[in-house]
Amino acid sequence: MTQDDRSTGSRERILAAAAAMVAEDVTARLSVRAVAARAGVSTGSLRFHFPTQRALQEAVLARIYEHVFPDDPIRDRSLPARDRLVNCLRQVLAPAGVGKQAREAWGKAYEMFIAPEPTEQVRAAYLAMEREGWRRIEYWLTVLADEGALPREDHARRVRFLLTVLNGLSIERALPAEESILRSETETLYTAVDCVLNARTA
Amino acid sequence: MTQDDRSTGSRERILAAAAAMVAEDVTARLSVRAVAARAGVSTGSLRFHFPTQRALQEAVLARIYEHVFPDDPIRDRSLPARDRLVNCLRQVLAPAGVGKQAREAWGKAYEMFIAPEPTEQVRAAYLAMEREGWRRIEYWLTVLADEGALPREDHARRVRFLLTVLNGLSIERALPAEESILRSETETLYTAVDCVLNARTA
DNA sequence: ACCTGAACACCGTTCAAGT
DNA sequence: ACCTGAACACCGTTCAAGT
């Protein structure tokens, strides 16, 4: 509905329309007709720029992760703890890329850390990386624990769990997917985060 | 096409037709019209017995796993639901192997599904695999839901979540690890399962 | 090169009408 | 109670035709 300059490229209008729809509702279906109508173009034009529905969804995902997560969102107390943590985890996930980019990233990871014998050097390089992710997540959890959003003890288990979920989501970005991963990714992140925040001493 | 006795209940004919379709092709879509035609009933009749497509698919799933995995650990009611589900997930994880074996397995997965351009063939092959895992987990959840261990709705989200956790654990078996993964893997599995079973409607 | 919109072949669900 | 089949409101993709 926004009055984009009519001269703006159709491709751009389509992406903007789709991004707006997702912004309004992450579960939005992004059907050809809905997006095309919102962008003010024909379905044929949409198909010209995005040959397949999957191509469109990947482009939208990339667009969103590109310019919607600026700084460390953990301290933005205007949001509930769970939303902040999800946003932080998204930041971790962002560099994983989508589509071809994701596949190439995993290609590098495979050659560096999986294919070669795990010499001490290989191990050290990987563990350094992993430890950085670990520290980052642990930091976020301590911030939230200070606010009382989760228990203070036993962070190790929670961090390990979140890292595993992130690894799963990241590899799934490189694997073929059934449908828009945006929605399922969001749902999975919230499921994992709720799991961590609702921690009951079972 | 099998000449079931015309007197057999429609419900049974529908289930048999759907099961046959899945047996022939695990990726079969089981659309209303296809199943109804195969069973020799109308779409309305199908809807009468299975008010929703999801209901049909669950019934078919139960039918199949009943006589394909007769001694599935999910049925061992001597254990609490969470332990049974963890054991089931372990079964899924087992073929991933450990150490060198896990690394080689991921090497194959990489060459098959990540490195090549995702042609329709590649996608189809992967999705068939994934869908099988999906169905299996979904079946376990419906069994536990029948026992009241978790809500009955919204299984899609939970299945997706568990699959992602399994993917994460599986790739971590191929990556260098800090210490014995056995313990952290068990903890993560229980964390994920508790997350699914303690599902609160947040 | 870019775009249109109709057409095609599908979906799942609803429902008046039959037996 | 069980079943029919048309109708509805959607899908994603294709394609001849326009500019």
Q: What is the DSSP string of A91-149?
A: HHHGGG-SHHHHHHHHHHHIIIIISS---HHHHHHHHHHHHHHHHHHHHHHHHHHHTTS
> Which among A110, A164, A178 is the nearest to B169, CB-wise?
A164
pLDDT at B3: 40
Phi-psi map region of B181: left, alpha, beta (phi>0 left; psi -120 to 50 alpha): alpha
Question: In this model, does residue A18 exceed pLDDT 90?
Answer: yes
Three-class secondary structure of residue B137 per DSSP: helix
Closest by Cα among A99, A123, A50 to B118: A99
* Rounded to 5°, angle at Cα B88 from A82 and B123: 75
Across all strands, nucleotide nearest A57 (CA–C1'):
D12
CB of B86 closer than 8 Å to CB of B193: yes
Instruction: Tell me what the pLDDT averaged over chain B comes to.
Output: 88
Higher pLDDT, B2 or A136: A136
> Which among A110, A160, A174 is the nearest to B188, CB-wise?
A160
Chain A residues with CB under 8 Å of a chain B CB are 103, 106-107, 110, 113-115, 118, 122-123, 126-127, 130, 157-158, 160-161, 163-169, 171-172, 174-176, 178, 184, 187-188, 191-192, 194-195, 198, 200, 202
Residue B125: pLDDT band with limits 50, 70, 90: confident
Amino acid at A24: E
Question: In this model, does residue B202 exceed pLDDT 50?
Answer: no
Question: In this model, does residue A19 exceed pLDDT 90?
Answer: yes
Mutation target among B130, B134, B170, B175 for the A interface, most CBs of A within 10 A: B175
pLDDT at B37: 97
Q: Which residues contact A101 (CB under 8 A, 6 or more apart)?
A: A62
Distance, in Å, from the CA atom of A56 to the CA atom of A180, rounded to the nearest integer, reads 9
Read off the pLDDT of each residue in B35-43 and give the average, rounded to a whole number: 97
Chain B residues with CB under 8 Å of a chain A CB are 103, 106-107, 110, 113-115, 118, 122-123, 126-127, 130, 157-158, 160-161, 163-169, 171-172, 174-176, 178, 184, 187-188, 191-192, 194-195, 198, 200, 202
Mutation target among B150, B161, B182, B189 for the A interface, most CBs of A within 10 A: B161
Question: In this model, does residue B136 exceed pLDDT 70?
Answer: yes
Question: In this model, does residue A201 exceed pLDDT 60?
Answer: no
Distance, in Å, from the CA atom of B141 to the CA atom of A107, rounded to the nearest integer, reads 34
Give the CB-side neighbour count of residue B38, counting CA atoms within 13 A: 20
> Which among B114, B127, B184 is the nearest to A174, CB-wise?
B114
Segment A60-108, tens digit of pLDDT: 988 887 766 667 788 889 999 999 999 999 989 988 888 888 999 999 9
Instruction: Tell me the backbone φ, ψ of residue A5, rounded to 5 degrees.
Output: -55, 130
Distance, in Å, from the CA atom of B135 to the CA atom of A194, rounded to the nearest integer, reads 25
Read off the pLDDT of each residue in B175-196 and give the average, rounded to a whole number: 86
Tell me what percent of the residues of chain B surpass a pLDDT of 70.
93
Instruction: Tell me the backbone φ, ψ of residue A151, rounded to 5 degrees.
Output: -60, 160
Q: Which residues of B touch A126 (CB under 8 A)?
A: 175-176
Q: Which residues of A touch B174 (CB under 8 A)?
A: 114
Distance, in Å, from the CA atom of A154 to the CA atom of A165, rounded to the nearest integer, reads 18
How many C-beta atoms surround the C-beta of residue B11 within 10 A?
16
pLDDT at A202: 38
Nucleotides, chain C, CB distance < 7 Å: 2-7, 10-16
pLDDT at B108: 95
Give yes or no for CB of B49 within 7 Å of strand D: yes
Q: How far is the CA of B47 from the C1' of D4 (A)?
A: 12
Instruction: Tell me the backbone φ, ψ of residue A50, rounded to 5 degrees.
Output: -130, 95
pLDDT at A199: 65
How many C-beta atoms surround the C-beta of residue A147 within 10 A?
11
Closest by Cα among B169, B15, B34 to B94: B169
| Sign, CA torsion A64/A70/A72/A77 | negative
Segment A25-69, tens digit of pLDDT: 877 889 999 999 999 999 999 999 999 998 898 899 888 877 666
Tell me what percent of the residues of chain A surpass a pLDDT of 90.
53
Residue A191 to residue B122, Cβ atoms within 8 A:
no
- DSSP 8-state secondary structure symbol assigned to residue B112: I
pTM confidence score: 0.82
pLDDT at B124: 84
pLDDT at B97: 82
